[in-house]
């Protein structure tokens, strides 16, 4: 990873101030997209869980569509972002977060509302602290990228295996490791998004980068929340 402080070495005080202001605006845009996506997912999850849609979504084979649809949207954004216009990419992002909300409604059906609220605020506090660290630290977090990615792959594989095995012990291990991995990814991705800004891009590319950065942080937040729910949530009897 290049030293993200390098743009300052050859700039005047005025240019440095402009760079800082641009970075703050870019990061604010990223976090606004991310937070708006979480809010939309929460609204959709609440509506699905508290209406007749719950039976339609989770009482029929449609549940598989709801569970797998977000993955399709992620692939479209990840592999097609350069071909999509910003407005199209933005539309895919909002549809994706809405689809994730429908999938997350299952959490509201399984766990008590009190524990969902408690874990949500714990997740938000953990995410904020870790992201702030990633934004402010001068340490190079890129060296942890490969390790975190391998941990993510391991979690995905173990989760698929556990669908068929149904082991509570394996689920506990997945959740513990998942908390560590997604906490680390939050700091790593925040620093990566910050550094990408310094590379300099046109407005359209910068806008897409902000959207993709928001997607990364959104996924970290949602997965961290899910892992913590498995560890700390109280099931509705």
Could you read off the pLDDT of 103-151 as tens digits, one per residue?
999 999 999 999 999 999 999 999 999 999 999 999 999 889 889 999 9
CA distance 129 to 229: 19
Residue 186 has pLDDT above 70, yes or no: yes
pLDDT tens sequence across 189-215: 999 999 888 776 677 888 899 999 999
CA distance 91 to 208: 12
Specify the DSSP element, H or E, that contains 89.
helix 86-110
Q: Tell me the pTM.
A: 0.88
- Locate 9 and state its tokens: 């070495």
Q: Mean pLDDT score of the chain, rounded to an integer? A: 87
CA distance 224 to 146: 19
Radius of gyration of the chain from Cα atoms? 19
* Beta strands per DSSP E along the chain: none
């Amino acid at each position: 990873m290049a030293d993200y402080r390098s743009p300052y070495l050859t700039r005047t005080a005025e240019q440095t101030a402009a760079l800082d202001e641009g970075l703050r605006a870019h990061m604010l845009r990223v976090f606004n997209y991310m937070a708006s996506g979480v809010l939309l997912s929460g609204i959709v999850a609440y509506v699905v869980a508290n209406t007749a849609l719950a039976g339609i979504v989770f009482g029929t084979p449609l549940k598989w569509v709801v569970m797998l649809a977000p993955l399709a949207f992620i692939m479209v954004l990840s592999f097609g972002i350069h071909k999509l216009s910003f407005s199209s990419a933005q539309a895919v992002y909002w549809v994706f977060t809405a689809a994730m909300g429908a999938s997350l409604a299952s959490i509201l059906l399984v766990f008590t509302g009190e524990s969902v609220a408690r874990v949500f605020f714990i997740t938000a506090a953990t995410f904020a602290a870790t992201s702030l660290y990633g934004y402010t630290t001068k340490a190079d977090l890129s060296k942890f990228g490969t390790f975190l990615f391998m941990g993510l792959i391991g979690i995905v594989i173990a989760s698929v295996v556990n669908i068929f095995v149904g082991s509570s012990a394996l689920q506990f291990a997945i959740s513990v490791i998942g908390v560590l991995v997604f906490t680390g990814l939050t700091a790593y991705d925040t620093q990566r998004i910050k550094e990408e800004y310094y590379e300099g891009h046109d407005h359209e590319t910068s806008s897409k980068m902000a959207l993709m950065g928001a997607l990364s942080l959104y996924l970290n937040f949602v997965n961290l929340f899910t892992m913590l729910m498995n560890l700390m949530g109280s099931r509705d009897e």
